Structure 1
Amino acid sequence: MSGLLIFLEAASGQFDKAMEDATSDVKKASMGAAHKAADIMKRDGRADIAAAGFGPKWQNALRVVVYPKNAESIQPTIQTYHKIGYSEIFEEGGSIFGKPLLWLPIEKNLPTRQGLHRVTPSFYVKNIGPLFPIYRAGKAPLLAARVKTGRRNKQGVAEMETVPMFVGIDEVTLKDRFHIREIADQVADQLPGIFAAEFDGG
């Protein structure tokens, strides 16, 4: 499953008259317009992700970069991408199928501070601890872990409890919840005005 990736040509064919004479002023205005558009893209894109109910980790994983990075161009490119590899499903919607089961994390039970890593059963076992299955008649199976309760018994030994970490299902269908491409189109529509302001101000 791929992550979200959008390219926006900051000057692609929109400023033909100005580009006929590729002066340093035109390059400077094009780059300035690209960076301002990138700031708008980042602000509005992260706000959209927040409005969908996703926390700071997901918001900050949306990145917007202007190319070229260390030079000026009359036709810079704005790249928008999301660092979480399966983010595309929340932009397009669709179904995810298990092989044979799809193990969904029970977020409230998982340890915090896992960074941008998608917490899968294999990630959990490798980085946190062992899991074991719980099969229930007529219900979805679980993967659980033994975790400390924070209490000690009379002998001073730390008490443990069984906590479900993942639930197994055949498939899950998700609706689109992000509108990043729509926001990119809106930013593209603003580019001529942004460029004109940069050029006139320069």
Structure 2
Amino acid sequence: MAGSLRIKVDDPSDAWIKAMKGKYKPIAKAATMAMRQVANNIKVEGRANIISAGFSRAWANSFRSDAYPSGGKVSADAAAMVRHKIDYADIFETGGVIHGDPTLWLPLPSTPKRIGRKRITPSLYISQIGPLFPIRRPGKPPLLAARMGVSARAKKSGSFGKVTNAKLRKGASGSGPRVAVPLFVGIRQVDIKQKFHLRAITKANAAKLAAYYYQHFIDE
């Protein structure tokens, strides 16, 4: 059984305390610089991974990796926090099945993506714009549709152009020519495959921490 070495200093002198403080600063600086380097690598590589999976720049920028302490402070206990600001983003890291309750209503490609700054959902649409009504299709997933305002010429020609919130608000007002446009499709469940590899990126960079620490300590 291996022994242990313990050192106890009673009433240390000022010189001893100063010597220990002098040793702490380069250690703290190396630890902090190494952690910042790892955190930055994770952020850069993670965002590139999200973009390569076909997600938007906004999705990529919502992936954060921050080192602490921040600013000009240093600490031997430096740490990093890795997170994604979009609360349901983890499903794209792990994959999985999302079940409806009983139905999941997904916006169609032609549906506006947002109302204001919020992602469009049936409940948000109803509260912000107007009513929705179901379209039942035997043997096919049901739809939720709304009335959209169009010009008399567009209604006659059948060419309605892009679906916009402005046109939908006009349709919800009940004035002028209107047409029905499907906005959401209802499904029982959706099977999401793994899209991100953020955990693997984090683990690979964490393994480099000791090398980065040594490099910064020697450079100091």
Q: What TM-score, normalized by structure 1, do the two folds share?
A: 0.77
1:25 aligns with 2:21: no
Distance 1:123 1:195, change over 3 A: farther
1:177 aligns with 2:209: no
Q: Residue 132 of structure 1 aligns to which amino acid in structure 2?
A: F
**Are 2:115 and 2:125, in contact at CA under 8 Å, matched by a contact in 1?**
no
**What is the Cα deviation at residue 118 of structure 1?**
4.1
Structure 1 residue aligned with 2:213: 195
SS at match of 2:41: helix
**What is the Cα deviation at residue 152 of structure 1?**
5.8
5 Å-filtered alignment, 1:91-110, equals 91-110=93-112
Question: Higher relative CO (CA 8 A, sep ≥ 6), structure 1 or 2?
Answer: 1
The structure where strand makes up a greater share of residues is 1
Percent of counterpart pairs with the same letter?
39
1:167 aligns with 2:185: yes
**Are 2:113 and 2:120, in contact at CA under 8 Å, matched by a contact in 1?**
no
Structure 2 regions of 5+ residues with no counterpart?
A: 1-21, 155-174
**What is the Cα deviation at residue 49 of structure 1?**
0.6
Q: Residue 68 of structure 1 aligns to which amino acid in structure 2?
A: P
Structure 2 residue aligned with 1:36: 37
**Is the deviation greater in 185-194 or in 174-183?**
185-194
Q: After superposition, what is the alpha-carbon deviation per residue over 1:167-196, rounded to whole angstroms, capped at 9, x for unaligned?
A: 111111111111000000111111122222
SS at match of 1:40: helix
Q: Residue 194 of structure 1 aligns to which amino acid in structure 2?
A: Y
Q: Residue 209 of structure 2 aligns to which amino acid in structure 1?
A: L
The structure where helix makes up a greater share of residues is 2
5 Å-filtered alignment, 1:98-137, equals 98-112=100-114, 115=117, 117-137=118-138
**What is the Cα deviation at residue 111 of structure 1?**
3.9
SS at match of 1:109: coil
Over the aligned positions, Cα root-mean-square deviation in angstroms equals: 2.4
Aligned length: 178
Q: Residue 198 of structure 2 aligns to which amino acid in structure 1?
A: I
**What is the Cα deviation at residue 159 of structure 1?**
5.0
Distance 1:138 1:189, change over 3 A: same
Q: Residue 210 of structure 2 aligns to which amino acid in structure 1?
A: P
